[in-house]
Chains A and B, each alone.
Chain A
């Protein structure tokens, strides 16, 4: 009996182990702060300036940004490039056919991208945070760029001016008689307009915004949930005593 359980546990262990081994590099933890309005606003600015040229967020309305502390006027003055109505959704101006020609695929819609990219390695935000920080120059690719979290990615490094050009440095180690390449760190080739810390901060804000945009109701949801649970605890208490009162005399 014990043997069977042990074998079974072992089998399951191996199965889940194999699961974890696939895919790119391990994901870094994204700063989680969808309540931080300053960060969200900065993220929205980066998003509109850099991402929205090619990617749409076709289910996200500009005026929803009021939820993160902006006014209609601020949105109109600073963030509306593709339309002049704040009630419109965020549609990219890129022609899909051209996009397909240039990048090999249509840039995906980003409205719920943060929800769709979650997985065994972490949240979707973690993935995006890692992905946007691990671009490197690679001459063998058509765009000149490659990525550690998404090998052979079609998108070039749109934020390269901010981050500068980098290449990964590998260590060669001996593993069971095989030479193995282990990622060690980065080598900066040309400097960006931001320091690495500033860049991480910016990407953190952008990912934070993407996370919020994927579900704008997420903070409302939690706030309401607390009240609902408080109400139900009181109801449960009364229901419990009501039940006890009725069953008191049942012998």
Chain B
């Protein structure tokens, strides 16, 4: 439907005339600017933790722009790939800078996304009405993992090659279809040129497209329901205080207030980012693994294959699932079923179903290789995040008003995650295995028992307004 054409005084300035010309022809852009920038009211009590969304967007842009330039010189061919990366590093003017920005950007992406997710976790940003924002975010995280995994194959070094080999082989552990599935992913019987080409296609086109779509959905959904804040107070609730124009008193226009915030923090972030790019691009072998400077050799398996640091918590959980560990998992299943039968108020038919399901699951756990369950656990560790909005029953959103012991629990959760990440970098060892098994049980216990523990204890009263101290 056409809008009414706005006329402007002939005495108006040239700038106003140009603006008017565009506004009459592309009003959507002007509306979007208002909805998402100048009249998007964000809570004014955002703290340090609220910067990582903007930083993730920045890193996404860095990855896309540097990626475009890398693709101009990179050759997705098993015989040429390694050499073309070295060509970028040596012969392309400033190629080394573009490549280091991209490789450091990959790690930076996970740093900011992990911190961004942690923010959501502690302030209850996933709770009603922001469940979809959280779900889109989890999907972004999943895409990011796929993007990073496939991108890591492209330099075609030893770690690229064997990392991909190990992970793709995991799919072969799926009962019945496994071997064919692994074959479908590789496009060959071993990781080879076909794998490199398809991973390249996914890495530069397919996954980024999905990623951008999801980021748009994440932001649009967020701006529909409004941002959460460290107090978990709804600033746009029907009974929330508003000024004469109907704007929330606890809110502040995103632009210019949060844009200047973001400019400042982006500058700080860039100092850290460029310090790594220019002074420690390998970051002690964590961002660029030493082994990856050896060209891929299908005949020479490295002694120790470890994924890049951002995958290691999940890799640890994969390695934790040994055939011995299966007995612990079966005990958990039986324990959960027994608890359900004894405690839950259900008709007997449902209780029978619970027992039946437990028996079937236990039998499957005994008969199918532990490697498959390792894959299930690794995938489950990511998938379980999607369910978070429905696992949390706490009467308050923010950690600030939860019982104090919740803070310690979240603290242990973080330590546990870091320990798992550390163990995933290390070569397997008996003690490391035991610790990672306990860590895996804790990780899943944290989420699966959340419906129960999140209701335990006395939460503190939530204030009617956000707590804001003028700067």
Query: Is B362 in contact with chain A by the CB < 8 A criterion?
Result: no
Q: B429 to chain A: which residues have CB within 8 Å?
A: 14-15, 18
Is B432 a contact of A15 with CB atoms below 8 Å?
yes
Q: Mark B94-129, 1 if CB is under 8 A from A, else 0.
A: 001100100000000000000000000000000000
- Chain B residues within an 8 Å CB radius of A117: 290
Against A, the Cβ 8 Å flags (1 = close, 0 = not) of B268-308 are: 10110011011101100100001111110000000000000
Q: Given the interface contacts A108-B294, A236-B267, does A118 sit within 8 Å of B285 by beta carbon?
A: yes
Compute how far the CA of A200 lies from the CA of B426 in the bound complex, rounded to whole angstroms.
34
Q: Tell me whether A243 and B260 are in contact in the complex, defined as CB-CB below 8 angstroms, given that A15-B431, A115-B282 are known contacts.
A: yes
- Secondary structure at the B interface, as helix, strand, loop or mixed, is helix
For residue A110, give the distance in angstroms from its CB to the closest CB of chain B. Answer: 11
**What residue of chain A has the Cβ atom nearest to residue B96's Cβ?**
A217
Q: Any chain A CB within 8 A of the CB of B49?
A: no
CA distance A216 to B426 in the complex (A): 31
Instruction: List B398-444 residues whose CB lies under 8 Å from chain A.
Output: 419, 422-423, 426-427, 429, 431-432, 434-435
With contact pairs A15-B431, A222-B278 given, residues A248 and B291 touching in the complex (Cβ less than 8 Å): no
Answer yes or no: B180 CB below 8 A from chain A CBs. no
CB pair B426–A244 under 8 Å, yes or no, is no
Top 7 nearest A-B pairs (CB, nearest first) are: A225-B278, A116-B293, A59-B86, A239-B264, A236-B267, A115-B293, A112-B293
Question: Does the CB pair A225–B252 fall under 8 Å?
Answer: no
Return chain B residues, CB-CB under 8 Å to A250: 44, 252, 257, 470-471
Type the 1/0 row for A6-39, where 1 means its CB is closer than 8 Å to any CB of B. 0010011011101100000000000000000000
Asked if A60 is an interface residue, CB under 8 A from chain B, the answer is yes
At the interface, yes or no: A251 with Cβ under 8 Å from chain B? Answer: yes
Chain A residue nearest in CB terms to B274: A228
Which residues of chain A have C-beta atoms less than 8 A from B426's C-beta?
Answer: 15-16, 19
What distance in Å separates the Cβ of B40 from its nearest Cβ neighbour in chain A?
A: 16
Dominant secondary structure at the A interface: helix
Contacting pair A239 B89 (CB below 8 A): no
- For B86, the chain A residues whose CB sits under 8 A away are 59, 111-112
Nearest chain B residue, comparing its CB with the CB of A224: B278
With both chains docked as a complex, state the minimum distance between the C-beta of B33 and any C-beta of chain A, in angstroms: 18
Q: Is the Cβ of B83 less than 8 Å from the Cβ of A8?
A: no
Residues of A bordering B, CB below 8 Å: 8, 11-12, 14-16, 18-19, 58-61, 64, 108-109, 111-113, 115-119, 124, 214-217, 221-222, 224-226, 228-229, 232-233, 235-236, 239-240, 242-244, 246-248, 250-251
Q: Are the C-beta atoms of B267 and A232 separated by less than 8 Å?
A: yes
Q: Is B87 an interface residue (CB 8 A)?
A: yes
Once A8-B419, A19-B426 are accepted as A-B contacts, the answer to whether A61 and B91 lie under 8 Å apart by CB is yes
> What separation, in Å, do the CA atoms of A173 and B83 have in the docked complex?
49
Query: When the two chains form their complex, are residues B263 and A242 in contact, meaning their CB atoms are under 8 A apart?
Result: yes
Measured between C-beta atoms, what is the minimum distance from A91 to chain B in Å? 12
Tell me, rounded to whole Å, the shortest Cβ–Cβ distance linking A123 to chain B: 10
Question: By the criterion CB–CB under 8 Å, are A225 and B435 in contact?
Answer: no
Give the Cβ gap from A211 to chain B, nearest Cβ, in Å.
13
CA distance A45 to B338 in the complex (A): 76
A236 and B264 in contact (CB under 8 A), knowing A229-B271, A246-B256?
Answer: yes
CA distance A239 to B262 in the complex (A): 9
Are B96 and A215 in contact (CB-based, < 8 A)? Answer: yes
Residue of B with least CB distance to A112 = B293
Query: What are 11 contact pairs spanning A and B, CB under 8 A?
Result: A15-B423, A15-B432, A115-B293, A217-B96, A222-B278, A225-B275, A225-B277, A228-B274, A240-B264, A247-B260, A247-B471
| Chain B residues within an 8 Å CB radius of A112 | 86, 293
B15 to chain A minimum Cβ distance, whole angstroms, is 23
Query: Contact between A239 and B267 (Cβ–Cβ < 8 Å)?
Result: yes
Please tell me if B261 contacts chain A, counting CB pairs below 8 Å: yes
Q: How far is the CB of B248 from chain A (nearest CB, A)?
A: 13
- How many Å lie between the Cα of A127 and that of B275 in the bound state? 26
Query: How far does the alpha carbon of A111 sit from the alpha carbon of B293 in the complex, in Å?
Result: 9
Q: Contact: A58 with B470, CB < 8 Å?
A: no
A248 B275 Cβ-Cβ under 8 A: no
Shortest distance between the CB of A9 and any CB in chain B (Å): 10
Alpha-carbon distance A240/B295, docked complex (angstroms): 45
Q: Is there contact, CB below 8 Å, between B261 and A243?
A: yes
B465: Cβ under 8 A from any A Cβ: no
Whether A228 contacts B278 in the complex (CB less than 8 A), given A15-B423, A235-B267, comes out as yes
Assuming the A-B contacts A11-B432, A18-B429, A116-B293, are A251 and B470 also in contact, with contact meaning beta carbons closer than 8 angstroms in the complex?
yes
Cα-based distance from A244 to B106 in the complex (angstroms)? 32
Beta-carbon contact of B274 and A225 below 8 Å: yes
Please, how many angstroms separate the alpha-carbon atoms of A222 and B275 in the complex?
9
B83 touches A59 (CB 8 A): yes
Q: Is the CB of A11 within 8 A of B96?
A: no
CB A77 to nearest CB in B, in angstroms, measures 24
Distance A239 CA – B259 CA, assembled complex (angstroms): 10
B271 proximity list for chain A (CB < 8 A):
229, 232-233, 236
